[in-house]
Amino acid sequence: MKFNLADKVFTTVSEIIDKENKEAYIIGGWVRDLILNRHSKDVDIVVVGSGIELANKLAKKLDTAITVTVFKNFGTAMFKYQNIEYEFVGARRESYNRNSRNPIVEDGTLEDDLHRRDLTINALAISLQKNNFGELIDKFDAIKDIENKIIKTPTNPDITFSDDPLRMLRAIRFATQLNFNIEEKTLQAIKDNVQRISIITKERINDELNKIIISKKPSIGFLKLAETNLLEIIFPELYNLKGVEIVNNVGHKDNFFHTVQVLDNIAEKTDKLWLRWAALLHDIAKPITKKFINNAWTFHGHEMVGAKIISNIFNKMKMPTNENLKYIQKLVGLHLRPIILSSEEVTDAAVRRLIVEAGEDLDDLMTLCEADITSKNDEKVQRYMTNFKLVRQKIKELEEKDALRNWKSPISGEQIMAALNLQPSKTIGIIKEMIKDAILDGKIENNYTAAENYMYKLIQENNFII
Ligand code: ATP
Ligand code: MG
């Protein structure tokens, strides 16, 4: 197979190596993605010799304004050119010791370099030599694996995964992104090496998890993580959702399968990583709130407990604990509210409350709740969806009428204190809350005068201890 590579970077590399009688190849992800028709914004070039030297010479020839970044310790160099990142490295041979995924590196041939790659589909190369410019080098029959949609290691999977256990996650991640199957022996080797994942940093694991979550059908990855038992080690809280308990012949749904289905549902509606995370975590506290009462399973309060424990989970996983975490906590904490609304008579007051509490995240909350409907019973799903439409309609009407999104009390604590000549105290908070209730219940209008009048009325009618 030969590719027609017109790109100036590639032809210039070809000229340089031709003069110096060297070999260079495009290698790895970019080649894979070219064949798969995916867009790849990073190109890896391997040279038999020094990658840093090649990068410097090439940059000078292409455009003197290019800044080459050199990583001396790794023997690599990179630069950005016309929005594409090029990385240059010398061909190498690797050997590993048991405690680290970082290999001992020696100079090597192209063949050595292909042998150290994680998967056959990532061990493709394209020659940049003049005599066979553009020719595909497929040492491990990767084209066949691409045709058959197979994820497989180029050499013994047991050694490949034990050497660098991150590759197990990469294998599952590529299976998810590409919707490929993992070859039997490769899958078995993951099962046999799961404990090795402990030498991988949490940050690396999170990168792969996020790539799975942001895939078109994330359930593929999570089911594989569960099947291989990797999930139990890297994300035990999610793993614990698995299983069905039966008492007196009464069971409940398997919350793990439900959760990954919700994740697939939401993936069809949004590419927002953190909204997808909210879907993944929405039922996370079901195992710890589960009770069998009056011959039925309940998970009372799982949304509030869930919102609480997510910060521990994120801390432990070293996921970022900034405003993204707060956003997820808010959505998880509120995720039952639209459902409750839609199964009762939809009152204006309840919808107003939801609008105010969800604030700018209301649309995302509704997306999460719609994704959460996964019953096998079509009639039930339809009924919920119709009710949700009503809730959405009502939200729209009330928002237009009452301008509730990003609602702020028309009267501030300071204004209440000034009007009543009070010092800061609990009472101010209580009065403010009662005014909020009155507005959301539609008893008074949403403006300062109405709020002030209502405040005086409250003072007259209640025996506040001031
Ligand atoms: P993506 O860019 O979508 O994450 P990629 O396969 O291009 O996927 P990179 O991290 O850019 O991943 O790595 C480039 C190439 O380096 C890979 O295609 C593969 O050949 C090799 N590689 C990356 N990580 C490993 C690893 N842990 N073990 C062996 N080879 C690896
Ligand atoms: Mg890449």
**209-251 pLDDT, tens digit each:** 999 999 999 999 999 999 999 999 999 999 999 999 898 989 8
Which residue, chain included where needed, has tokens 């199964």? 343
Q: Which two tokens mark 427?
A: 């009472």
Euclidean distance between CA atoms 245 and 268, whole angstroms: 31
Contact 247, 292 (CB under 8 A): yes
Query: What's the 123 CA to ligand 1 centre distance in angstroms?
Result: 9
Regarding the beta carbon of 164 and ligand 1, being less than 6 Å apart is answered yes
Query: What's the 119 CA to ligand 1 centre distance in angstroms?
Result: 9
Q: What is the CA radius of gyration of the chain?
A: 29
Q: Which two tokens mark 345?
A: 């008579």
Q: Picking from 5-14, 256-265, 454-463, which range would have the lowest pLDDT averaged per residue?
A: 454-463
Q: pLDDT tier at 171 (50, 70, 90 boundaries)?
A: very high
Which atom of ligand 1 is nearest to 164's Cα? 27
State the sign of the Cα–Cα–Cα–Cα dihedral 386, 392, 398, 400: negative
Euclidean distance between CA atoms 352 and 130, whole angstroms: 70
In the chain, the amino acid numbered 350 is A
Domains and CATH numbers, the chain: 8-148 (3.30.460.10), 413-461 (no CATH)
Contact 137, 125 (CB under 8 A): yes
Q: What is the pLDDT of residues 383-430, one digit of tens each?
A: 888 888 888 888 888 887 767 777 788 899 999 888 888 888 888 888
Regarding the beta carbon of 42 and ligand 1, being less than 6 Å apart is answered yes
Regarding the beta carbon of 338 and ligand 1, being less than 6 Å apart is answered no
Question: How distant, in Å, are the alpha carbons of 57, 135, 302, 458 from that of 16?
Answer: 8, 18, 63, 85
Query: What's the 183 CA to ligand 2 centre distance in angstroms?
Result: 22
Contact 260, 238 (CB under 8 A): no
Q: pLDDT tier at 324 (50, 70, 90 boundaries)?
A: very high
Calculate the average pLDDT of the chain: 92
Regarding the beta carbon of 287 and ligand 1, being less than 6 Å apart is answered no
At residue 401, the pLDDT reads: 76
At residue 404, the pLDDT reads: 72
Regarding the beta carbon of 44 and ligand 1, being less than 6 Å apart is answered yes
Residue 394 vs residue 465, higher pLDDT: 394
Which atom of ligand 1 is nearest to 32's Cα? 18
pLDDT at 347 over 90: no
At 29, which helix (H) or strand (E)? helix 29-36
Which residue, chain included where needed, has tokens 């023997």? 75
Which atom of ligand 1 is nearest to 33's Cα? 7
Give the angle 387-391-397 at the CA atoms, nearest 5°. Answer: 140
Query: What's the 97 CA to ligand 1 centre distance in angstroms?
Result: 20
Query: What's the 285 CA to ligand 2 centre distance in angstroms?
Result: 36
Closest CA to 130 of 16, 30, 9, 34: 16
pLDDT at 160 over 80: yes
Closest CA to 91 of 50, 143, 37: 50
At residue 384, the pLDDT reads: 83
pLDDT at 78 over 60: yes
Residues 430-461: b if buried by 16+ CB within 10 A, e if exposed: ebbeebbebbbeeebebeeebbbebbeeebee
DSSP alpha helices (H): ranges in 240-301? 255-267, 273-281, 286-289
Regarding the beta carbon of 29 and ligand 1, being less than 6 Å apart is answered yes
Contact 122, 171 (CB under 8 A): no
Looking at the chain, the whole-number percentage of residues with pLDDT higher than 70 is: 98
Is the pTM here over 0.85, yes or no?
A: yes
Q: Which of 118, 119, 214 to mutate to test the pocket of ligand 1 (most atoms within 8 A of CB)?
A: 118
The single-letter DSSP state of residue 415 is H
Query: What's the 177 CA to ligand 2 centre distance in angstroms?
Result: 13
Closest CA to 89 of 66, 67, 65, 72: 72
Ligand closest to the CA atom of residue 84: 2
pLDDT at 344 over 80: no
